[in-house]
Amino acid sequence: MASSEAEKKSDLGVPGRVIFLDGRGELPMLEVSTAWSTAEIYLHGAHVTHFTRKNEPPLLFLSQCSRFEQGQPIRGGIPVVFPWFGPREGLGQHGFARVKTWELKEFAPAPDGSVSLRFRLPDCPEASAFGPFNADYIVTVSDSLKLELVVTNKSRTDEFVFENCLHTYFEIGDICTVSISGLKGATYLDKVANFVEKTETNEAIHINSEVDRIYLNTQGAIEISDGRLGRKIRVEKQSSLSTVIWNPWIAKAQQMPDFGNEEYERMVCVESGNVGSNQIRLPPGETSRLTVKLTSGPAQ
Ligand code: BG6
């Protein structure tokens, strides 16, 4: 099934390796191996579907019911949400970037053993509603997973106004034993209460019903403590003012055709981006660089 392969030995003598495969639904997929981890990335949406550190459970949740089809988003992993977040009248939810086939521009197994891959969003009819721009997505696989969405406004005269979000689905042991810290004091829009504005008063957020919240003006790191898996996940970000926390819980899970009825127990989304009043107004010729680094290890 492998169509080609690239390999370079790291300083440790361990190869960083990229293999090109037909993935699920025969969509082209890249399998990346490093001394510390493995990852899978589809060109469809430039979608990271797997990242697993050696001797650790997978970091990313992927639904058993996900579609792998042209025109449909993948349920799980890291959908790239761009150039808008949420619904937009007459257009799809969460932008078109997650359903386009991105071009692989370069991949580089580095001397330190990490592997970086750069993808570019292709020209498409939907993009022509906006001014000229480039969107690149750089994924670096090593001991951690680093993601950079780099958007350049190519217009000489006009701002480019957009939203972005790396909609990360984390794999957890049991939603009832998970706490999320780093958001105390932040203002959020509560989507399950008609977008009412609230303030987070908890040091650690526990989830025991549907949660769909947009935290605004949040720049600090978020930690997910997972009692069942005995793991702590850290989300560090730059050029991101918004954090979205989402778990569909029971009723919504049952309504989603590409999500298992019980899968809400094993996932939580902690999404980093710039949405709503945090949207980006990029001046002509300028570049925005949304960066997210995911690390994990045993909970103390
Ligand atoms: C979250 C939104 O980011 O994504 C939720 O806040 C939404 O409202 C969820 O339900 C999933 O969206 P989709 O389009 O992938 O089903």
The pLDDT value recorded for residue 9 is 46
**Ligand 1 pocket test, candidate residues 47, 65, 72, 93, most atoms within 8 A of CB:** 93
Average pLDDT over residues 122-148: 97
Atom number in ligand 1 closest to CA 85 = 3
Q: Is the pLDDT of residue 66 over 50?
A: yes
Give distance in angstroms: CA of 70 to centre of ligand 1: 19
Residue % of the chain over a pLDDT of 90: 91
Atom number in ligand 1 closest to CA 167 = 3
Task: Give residues (CB < 6 A) around ligand 1.
Answer: 73, 93-94, 167, 191, 212, 244, 246, 271
- The catalytic residue positions are 167, 271
CA neighbours within 13 Å on the CB side: how many for 191?
A: 14
Atom number in ligand 1 closest to CA 213 = 6
Using pLDDT thresholds of 50, 70 and 90, give the confidence band for residue 5: low
Q: Is the pLDDT of residue 16 over 90?
A: no
The pLDDT value recorded for residue 13 is 43
Going from the C-alpha of 153 to that of each of 67, 70, 130, the distances in angstroms are: 32, 27, 10
The pLDDT value recorded for residue 214 is 98
Closest CA to 164 of 289, 72, 43: 289
Average pLDDT over residues 155-168: 98
Over the Cα atoms of the chain, what is R_g?
Answer: 19
Q: What is the DSSP letter of 243?
A: E
The pLDDT value recorded for residue 162 is 98
Give distance in angstroms: CA of 36 to centre of ligand 1: 31
Atom number in ligand 1 closest to CA 248 = 10
The pLDDT value recorded for residue 6 is 55
- pTM of the predicted model as reported, rounded to 2 decimal places: 0.95
- Residue matched to tokens 């370079």: 8
Q: Whose CA is nearest to atom 13 of ligand 1?
A: 93
The pLDDT value recorded for residue 11 is 41
**Ligand 1 pocket test, candidate residues 84, 94, 268, most atoms within 8 A of CB:** 94
The pLDDT value recorded for residue 81 is 99
Give distance in angstroms: CA of 26 to centre of ligand 1: 26
The pLDDT value recorded for residue 109 is 84
Q: Whose CA is nearest to atom 8 of ligand 1?
A: 212
Using pLDDT thresholds of 50, 70 and 90, give the confidence band for residue 38: very high
**HEC string of 166-221?**
ECCEEECCCHHHEEEECCCCCEEEEHHHCCEEEECCCCEEECCCCEEEEEECCCCC
**Ligand 1 pocket test, candidate residues 167, 249, 272, most atoms within 8 A of CB:** 167
Average pLDDT over residues 27-48: 97
The pLDDT value recorded for residue 300 is 75
The pLDDT value recorded for residue 15 is 61
Give distance in angstroms: CA of 288 to centre of ligand 1: 23
Give distance in angstroms: CA of 86 to centre of ligand 1: 7
Using pLDDT thresholds of 50, 70 and 90, give the confidence band for residue 7: low
Count of positions (residues) in the chain: 300
